[in-house]
Structure 1
Amino acid sequence: MLLPKQFHFLFFLFFLALNLFAQGQGQVMPFKKIISEIEKQHQVSFNYTEDNISGLELIPPKKTLSLAQKLEYLSKKTNLSFENIGNQFINIYKKSDEPQIICGYVFSNADKKPIENANINLDDKTQTRTDSKGYFEFKKENQNTFLITHIGFVSKKNTIGNTDSENCLQLFLEPEITELHEIKTNAILASGISKNVDGSFEIKPKKFGILPGLIEPDALQTMQQIPGVNSIDESVSSINVRGGTHDQNLFLWNGIRMYQTGHFFGLISVFNPNLAHTISIYKNGSSAFYGESVSSVVAMSSTPETAEKNSFSAGINMINADIYAKYNLSKKSYIEISARKSITDFVETPTYKEYFNKVFQNTTITDFSNNQNVDYQSDKKFGFYDATLKYVQKIGNKDQIVLDLITIKDNLEVFQSATVYDIFRSENNILRQQNYGGNLAWKRNWNSFNTTKINVYNSAYELLANQTTTFENQIVIQENTVNNNGVNLENNHILNSKFSLNDGYQFNEIGITNLEDVTNPDFYRKVKDVLRTHALILEGKYNDTISRVYFKAGTRVNYIEKFKKFIPEPRIQFGYGINKSLNLELLGEMKSQNSQQIIDLQKDYFGIEKRRWIISNDSTIPIQKSRQLSLNLSYEKKGWLLDIENFYKKVTGITTSSQGFQNQLEFVKTTGDYEIWGTEMLVQKKMNHFLTWLSYTYNHNNYHFVNYEYPVFPNNFEVMHTATWAGIYEKNNFKIALGTKWTSGRPKTSPDNSQIDLSNPTLVYNKPNNTNLHTFAQVNFSSTYKWEDANGIQYKLGVSILNILNRKNEISEYYRISSLTNSIEEVETFSLQRTPNVSFRVSF
């Protein structure tokens, strides 16, 4: 008989044996708990419907089995199928229901992450959505196709007949993340001109309407209509933006810096007006990717934003003729050419004569004729041309290569002779100005978020003068050449629909040579300087069109090898839409410039193009630096536009040689700065087909030369008051414009008559720029008409008249000692007289 303790021990052993046997056979568990344990052990996620697993229980598989073995075990023990998606997601469905169920996962193709709440639109108009894992399913039944849509992604249509119902689909959507369109002011000044939210002006020449005096969308003539932009001598080679000199502006043609901007020595732009697709003009707040300028930026691009068909056009006016052609070599490549040449070789039109008189007044060429009055003869030849070539090749869906070439040339030859007191005198003058440029660019779209651009460019400029005189038996040769090479790298990263980030690197090498070679007396000088600069750029942009906030900030850090100097250049652009009609804008920038144009002698290069490029030496020729800030308020409603902008700008490191003095400072070599502040206003009204506007600019601009006896005085380029009005009518294909421009006279320096000794006249001046020229006033007119024949060929006729009233406007004045009368004489230069022009163009 067993004792109680022994009985208890045997009972415990029996219970333990039963328990071990039960564990060896496996304990039945709810199916949901089994797959939950598998999820934890193998880091996977099951997708299922509750109906398929409700009430299901079975013995779990051994934990030592692999994931695939466990799924095979579960499939054998149940009426379920298991689909393993990359050892990450596992779909569960009934074997009997397989043909009736379509399931899938939706991922972003950019980062391969699942897309939640994507809409699955079925043929029967019903919808379902993806869950947090991107999973969806629906009954096949009579469904043939389904459409997947989601905000920020390209919609994708799928055909069910091509799917394998035994496996869930893996679908990838392409992001449709693009920067929100920047708010632009509607047509400003004329159709085809708008103002961007970043403060820049944008001109679309192919959409350009008309402006007074212009019958073609000339970029450099058009920009002079913008408040704050002027040219004190009517020249596109002397554009002054907020008091700056022309060389302080950066002119880019398809990424190539251009050192020559005008044909006919400044009266015509070198950029073919029928070629450019987009022209961007920045007075302030330019991108950090623009360097080497302390004033404005003018960036021209001839690359279209969208594919265009083959086209050809040809035109002629009273100065030049041109052709343009674009031909698609394939679906992914095209070639584009343009050429323009003066017609002065064949005919001297009234327009040409007015231009010639304007350019060559008070130069050594007219001095020769003025000083000779016996048997004077002159033989002159003048001509210019420009040509461009573009080749574009797309490689695959992500790469594009663009090659741009441009050549520009002006050539003048003047032979003059006269016999005075039986002595024969002659002069042969040759003046050549040319600019060649090339740019090779590669662009790659890595994906919808990231883009890389690399371009390599070269720009070569030459100004050459050769003068031979028989009487003095003298030859004078002057030459100024610029060779500019560079590499630009730019990366664009779109973080989301509001944020983007740009970074890049730029290398720039500029070499400038100045040569002077004189015989009798013999003199030779040749100076060549080279400067290499590296720049790192970083800028970020936030653009929210819903809250009407735009913010862009960036900086470029320049490193100049020769001087071992770092120069940071921060930039800022901020815009805020107070409401739908009222906008506030704040722009600021700091910039620097290593090259500039100077005048050694006013008669250099015959006094026609007397400026020569030089490089900073960081001492007597400092690096120019600028800082600028502007605040703009604009109101636009019911066809009205009111724009007011206040600005402050200071440029340091300027030299007296770069400012074109023709007074007591002409031969003084010193450095200083100029400081300008002012207000620019524009009032515009659009009424159906009629547009009228009135602009006014006030600025106060002073020099500061601390080492000069008069340390502060007005800037040579100060035009204190400028007012411009225009009335434009455009209906269908007919356009007409009438406008007027009025400016206060620029500063001049008068001689001090009280100190002149008439027996031995010498020039003694008052304080620099102590008075002003007379006011400038001009009325201009232009009109165009376009029509098309039955064959689709378009014709365009244009007529313009500059200075309709034929007003004699004085644009400069200086004093000199007359060699004939031995007295002080006043030398005046005047603007164009009444100048007509007619153009005709054919396009197809």
Structure 2
Amino acid sequence: MLGPKRFYFSFLLFFLVLNLFAQGKGKTTSLKKIIIDIENQHQVNFNYTEDNVFGLQLTPPKKSLSLEQKLQYLTQRTSLSFENLDNKYINVYRNHNKTEIICGYVFSNIDKNPIEGANIHFNTNTHTATASNGYFEFEKGSKNVFSISHVGFTPKKISIANINSKECLNIILESEVTELEEIKANPILASGISKNSNGSFEIKPKKFGILPGLIEPDALQTMQQIPGVNSLDESVSSINVRGGTHDQNLFLWNGIRMFQTGHFFGLISVFNPNLAHTISIHKNGSSPFYGESVSSVVAISSTPETAEKNSFSAGINMINADIYAKYNLSKKSYVEISGRKSITDFVETPTYKEYFNKVFQNTTITDFARNQNINYKSDKEFDFYDATLKYLQKIGLKDEILLDLITIQDNLKVFQSAASYNVVKSENNILRQQNFGGNLSWKRNWNNFNTTKINIYNSSYELLANQKTTNGDQIVIQENTVANNGINLENNHTISSKFNFNNGYQFNEIGVINLEHVSNPDFYRKTKEVLRTHALILEGKYNDTISRIILNTGLRLNYIEKFKKYIPEPRIQFNYGFNKNLNIELLGEIKSQNSQQIIDLQKDYFGIEKRRWIISNNSSIPIQKSKQLSLSLFYKKNDWLLDIENFYKKVSGITSASQGFQNQLEFVRITGNYEIMGTEILIQKKMNHFLTWLSYTYNNNNYHFENYEYQSFPNNFELTHTVSWAGIYERNNFKIALGTKWSSGRPKTSPDLSKIDLSNPVLVYNKPNNTNLRIFSQVNLSSTYKWETTSGVLYKLGISILNILNRKNEISEYYRMSPLSNSIEEVETFSLQRTPNLSFRVSF
């Protein structure tokens, strides 16, 4: 076998030869066919006459180019001009320097909307009509006067003599008030959410409508509405996708891997909901360019697809305040900043109090309070913030440089004291969690068929706990830090109008430090592990709109330096349309992951954020590997939508410490796998301004530990049945959503009372996860209203209520020995009680 260095050299040489070969390829096709393809891809409409495009043949532009780049390409290779109007309509006409053209737009004087089908009549007894955007054009020739008429509008005559043919006319017709037909769309779950042909869900926060309980397009809260995605403890730091743990998901922000995803220890997403432009969620069949995850991929991009004007916005709710600003430095560069901070420094709102009570249930901090009932005093400080910076610079027509920076931090300080029988006990607790990230990327369009992108990234994470007690003079310090950096190279080649080929190389280095330091008695332990991985990537994409076949397939080949181990990861996405209403989809993938989160002790980090990152050692901590296959049927017609998906998933190499056991397996260290089969169903109906949907998920999820007494038993994250419903009403600027979520209780382990001696009790358990908690049920409501002033300032007011019925839902239950009574006590944790929230935002 070739050595690693010779192998990489040969592979990169192959990329170079392929790149040079691909640059010279390309078949010609008709301009009209090219225009139709661009319309379908970018959702625009071209306005043209058949005479202008008839007979023109040329090589199609690369599909990966932006709309503006494609129009520049067509302009350079034809004698036509392409005028882009708000990325909705493209006017096609002959170049003015060859033929003198008169062009214009016709609008209504009442609502300033374009008038489609207005008749343009000339003195030569010929005529034409306006397009859907009100556009018209004609050759000047011998024409000197033309008239414009339309039913319900006053006709108008225009003299051509004094018209400057280099500028299009704006013509206003006097009219009666005319209602234009509303454009109807069929979203998934809510406006701004769609499902792509590759099986992924895509969220556009700036087009987001509303969902029950949400007044902002929070990425991690929104994704929990998708069938197959849950959070058993209502935390965005504990999202389970098809039975996987949270750390098995890959979270990317502008290409940066994020190791912290939640503020307020999981109740709020760290990703500013007013910043993102596109959120892609892959439950299965992800691109081979995504690695280091055995469950889902959540890729968040804050880079707009098209140029945007300067903007500023600021908002506040009952937890935090934020600002956002974008400023165009020139036509080729802009800077974008955002910042968000908790308001708990100034006021303790009802929302904050409910969140605080939820997070700190049954932690060592509340244990202190429960055990001391005389002269108890507590003083706490909590705050969080996040900030981002983006800078984009275009260089010439082919190059683009982009810089992204993000910083996230949560701080908690709690001082507690109690006096009992003249003995004073006190604790001073400090907990800090933070994540910094940066990404510098360069993109070059070599030509219309080849693009290269290189990015260098870094992500650093720290979790630090510091506890001081006065009575024992003891100091406890715990620290978990992660440093992750790497380089990505991606080449995109357009081979033909139907086939694209991509290749790339990725280098990733991750280092993890875990530290524990205790004084009195002295104990010190510090471990550091580093792992470097190389990955070679091949991907082919075939899209035939005529036969309705879409096939994306690829291979990711990982090489782990430390273990000298190769891991191949094939991926496939296949979509076939029986007709325009019915599609079948097959998704499959094999993936691996070298890092994971474990729990050494449930009381680590005060029991609040007790998970720490570690990396594989290829023995007691194996490399996790997953394989998954799913088959779905998607039907959409007459505003009805039905999506049925069956899947199978198996993840091997898991450790018991990563699964959060609080039974007889809490202190046992074994490895095994989990296997899950399930069905996800979504049915949806849209009726004018009203949208309603119902989803159902069935899961059969089991652990398999060969070296344990009970080799197979239910997974901790199994929810056998989950049902969600929502009713959403949106009209003009008013939106309201009501919804409910019902699920069977998660598994728990009960004590075996027949084997416990109550006079000298010792915990003895039944088979792990032998029973379940009670049913979980919650009803949520949210509503928003926005209005705009004549000066262009936009205001938005939102209100939400979680758990309207104030139902006391149990989300976990375990048993422990009470240090006070030497008896077995049952410990329960509950979901949020009724929690209101109010938001206000201003944008201009």
Relative to structure 1, is the Cα distance of residues 618 and 447 closer, same or farther in structure 2, using a 3 angstrom cutoff?
same
Amino acid of the residue matched to residue 512 of structure 1?
V
Given that 1:478 and 1:517 are in contact with CA atoms closer than 8 Å, whether structure 2 keeps it comes out as yes
Correspondence for 2:756: 756
2-structure distance, mates of 1:636, 1:532: 46
- In the TM superposition, 1:100-499 aligns within 5 A as 148=79, 157=95, 159=97, 186-499=186-499
The equivalent residue for 2:792 is: 792
Counterpart of 1:550 in structure 2 is 550
Per the alignment, do residues 569 and 155 of structure 1 end up closer, same or farther by CA in structure 2, a change over 3 Å counting?
farther
C-alpha separation between the residues in 2 aligned to 1:570 and 1:273?
Answer: 33
Structure 1 residues 331 and 131: CA distance shift in structure 2, 3 A: closer
Task: Say yes or no: does 1:502 pair with 2:502.
Answer: yes
Kept after mapping to 2: 8 A contact 1:185/1:196: no
Deviation at 1:111, TM superposition (A): 5.1
Task: Classify the secondary structure of the residue corresponding to 1:381.
Answer: strand
Cα pair 1:404 1:438 within 8 Å, conserved? yes
User: Aligned in 2, Cα 1:292/1:131: closer, same or farther, shift over 3 Å?
Assistant: closer
**CA-CA distance at 1:575 after TM superposition:** 0.3
Distance 1:124 1:740, change over 3 A: closer
Following superposition of structure 1 onto structure 2, how do residues 737-776 of structure 1 map, counting pairs within 5 Å? 737-776=737-776
Contact 1:320–1:341 (CA under 8 A) maintained in structure 2: yes
Contact 2:81 2:94 (8 Å CA) reproduced: no
How far 1:548 moved relative to its partner? 1.3
Q: Which letter does structure 2 place at the counterpart of 1:311?
A: S
| Larger CA Rg, structure 1 vs 2 | 1
Residue of structure 2 equivalent to 1:614? 614
Change over 3 Å in CA distance of 1:760–1:576 after alignment to 2: same
Deviation at 1:821, TM superposition (A): 1.4
Give the superposition deviation at 1:186: 3.5
Does the aligned pair in 2 maintain the 1:185–1:194 contact within 8 Å? no
- Please report how far the alpha carbon of residue 529 of structure 1 lies from its aligned counterpart in structure 2 after TM superposition: 0.2
Instruction: Give 1:458's aligned amino acid.
Output: N
Letter paired with 1:273: P
Q: Which amino acid counterpart does residue 457 of structure 1 have in structure 2? A: Y
- The answer to whether the Cα contact below 8 Å between 1:459 and 1:484 also exists between their aligned partners in 2 is yes
The residue that corresponds to 1:649 in the other structure is: 649
Supply the distance in 2 between the matched residues of 1:266 and 1:524 (Cα, whole angstroms): 29
Offset of residue 128 of structure 1: 9.1
Unpaired runs of 5+ residues, structure 2, are 1-21, 33-47, 60-76, 83-91, 101-183
Q: Is the 8 A contact 1:117 1:150 kept in 2?
A: no
- When normalised by structure 2's length, the TM-score is 0.80
Report the 3-state secondary structure (helix = DSSP H, G, I; strand = E; otherwise coil) of the residue aligned with 1:220. Answer: helix
CA distance in 2, matches of 1:132, 1:486: 40
1:520 aligns with: 520
| Residues in 1 aligned to 2:824 and 2:366: alpha-carbon distance in whole angstroms | 19
Is the 2:815–2:824 contact (alpha carbons within 8 Å) kept by the matching residues of 1? yes
C-alpha distance in structure 2 between counterparts of 1:782 and 1:582, whole Å: 33
C-alpha contact (below 8 Å) 1:756/1:763 kept by paired residues:
yes
| Equivalent position of 2:575 in the other structure | 575
In 2, are the aligned partners of 1:505 and 1:535 still within 8 Å (CA)? yes
Distance 1:237 1:494, change over 3 A: same
* Structure 2 residue matching 1:235: 3-state secondary structure: coil
Matches for 1:649-798 after TM superposition, within 5 Å = 649-798=649-798
Q: 1:365 is aligned with what amino acid?
A: I
Task: Give the Cα–Cα distance (whole angstroms) in 2 for the partners of residues 555 and 298 of structure 1.
Answer: 20
Q: 1:181 is matched with which residue?
A: none
- 8 A contact 1:118–1:149 mirrored in 2: no
Aligned-residue Cα RMSD (Å) equals: 2.4
- Shift of the 580–812 alpha-carbon distance from structure 1 to 2, 3 Å rule, reads same
Equivalent residues of 2:466, 2:477 under 8 A apart: yes
Kindly indicate whether residue 839 of structure 2 is the aligned counterpart of residue 839 of structure 1.
yes
Q: Give CA deviations for 1:570-613 in whole Å, capped at 9, x if unaligned.
A: 00000001111111000000000000000000000000000000
In structure 1, C-alpha distance between the alignment counterparts of 2:625 and 2:29, rounded to whole Å: 52
1:596 aligned to 2:596? yes
Q: Please give the secondary structure, in 1, of the residue aligned with 2:233.
A: coil
Separation in structure 2 between the aligned mates of residue 447 and residue 610 of structure 1, nearest angstrom: 51
Q: Is the 8 A contact 1:185 1:195 kept in 2?
A: no
1:147/1:156 contact within 8 Å kept: no
TM-superposed CA distance for 1:545, in Å, is 2.0
State the alpha-carbon separation in 1 of the partners of residues 27 and 418 from structure 2. 89
Quote how far apart the aligned CAs of 1:147 are: 6.4
**Contact kept? 1:535, 1:558, Cα under 8 Å:** yes
Whole-Å separation in 2 of the counterparts to 1:465 and 1:448: 53
1:593/1:711 Cα in 2 relative to 1: closer, same or farther (>3 Å)? same
CA contact under 8 A between 1:410 and 1:434: conserved in structure 2?
yes
Contact 1:118 1:148 in 2 (8 A): no
- Where 2:352 maps in the other structure, the secondary structure is helix
CA offset at residue 161 of structure 1?
A: 10
One-letter identity of the residue aligned with 1:709: E
Mapped to 2, the partners of 1:131 and 1:810 lie a distance apart of 67
The alignment of Structure 1 onto Structure 2 pairs a total of residues equal to 699
SS at match of 2:354: helix
2:691 and 2:585 mapped to 1: Cα distance? 25
Contact 2:81/2:95 (8 A) holds in 1 = no
Per the TM alignment, residue 720 of structure 1 is displaced from its structure 2 partner at its CA by 0.4
String of CA shifts for 1:141-162, please: whole Å, max 9, x gaps: xxxxx964799xx997485699
CA offsets 1:321-378 (integer angstroms, 9 cap, x no match): 0000000000100000000000000000000000000000100000000000000000
> Matched residue of 2:353: which SS?
helix
Distance in 2 of aligned mates of 1:690 and 1:118:
41
Alpha-carbon distance in 1 for matches of 2:81, 2:24: 16
- Do the aligned partners of residues 369 and 126 (structure 1) sit closer, same or farther apart at CA in structure 2, a change above 3 Å counting? closer
Describe the shift of the 1:113–1:435 C-alpha distance in structure 2 as closer, same or farther (beyond 3 A).
closer
Alpha-carbon shift at residue 509 of structure 1 (Å): 0.1
Q: TM-score, normalized by length of structure 1?
A: 0.80
- DSSP 3-state at the match of 2:369: helix
Structure 1 residue 402, shift from structure 2 partner:
0.5
Amino acid in structure 2 at the alignment position of 1:295 = S
Conservation of the 8 A alpha-carbon contact between 2:186 and 2:639: no
Compute the displacement of 1:110 (Å).
7.5
Mapped to 2, the partners of 1:188 and 1:311 lie a distance apart of 29
Inter-CA distance 565–205: structure 2 relative to 1 (3 Å threshold): same
Aligned in 2, Cα 1:357/1:127: closer, same or farther, shift over 3 Å?
A: closer
Mapping for residues 2-21 of structure 1, pairs under 5 Å: none
The amino acid of 1:450's aligned partner reads N
Distance 2:492 2:57 in 1: 32
CA shift for structure 1 position 298: 0.1
Per-residue deviation, 1:760: 1.3
- What is the distance in 1 between the residues matched to 2:270 and 2:25? 50
Q: State the SS of the aligned residue for 2:194.
A: strand
Q: Secondary structure at the match of 1:610?
A: coil
Counterparts of 1:784 and 1:433, CA distance in 2: 32
801 and 666 in structure 1: CA distance in 2 versus 1, 3 angstrom threshold: same
CA contact (8 A) 2:26 2:496 kept: no
Contact 1:386-1:409 within 8 A present in 2 as well: yes
Return the offset for 1:546: 2.4
Following TM superposition, by how much is the alpha carbon of 1:420 offset from its aligned partner in structure 2, in angstroms? Answer: 1.1
Q: Which residue number in structure 2 is paired with residue 565 of structure 1? A: 565
Query: Are 2:186 and 2:686, in contact at CA under 8 Å, matched by a contact in 1?
Result: no
Contact kept, 8 Å, 2:31 with 2:58, in 1: the verdict is no
Gaps of 5+ in 1: 1-108, 134-145, 163-183
Partner Cα distance (1:568, 1:409) in 2? 37
Contact 1:338–1:387, Cα closer than 8 Å, also in 2: yes
Task: Name the CA distance, whole Å, in 2 between partners of 1:427 and 1:127.
Answer: 79
Instruction: Measure, in 1, the Cα distance between the counterparts of 2:778 and 2:574.
Output: 37
Give the C-alpha shift of residue 494 in structure 1: 1.0
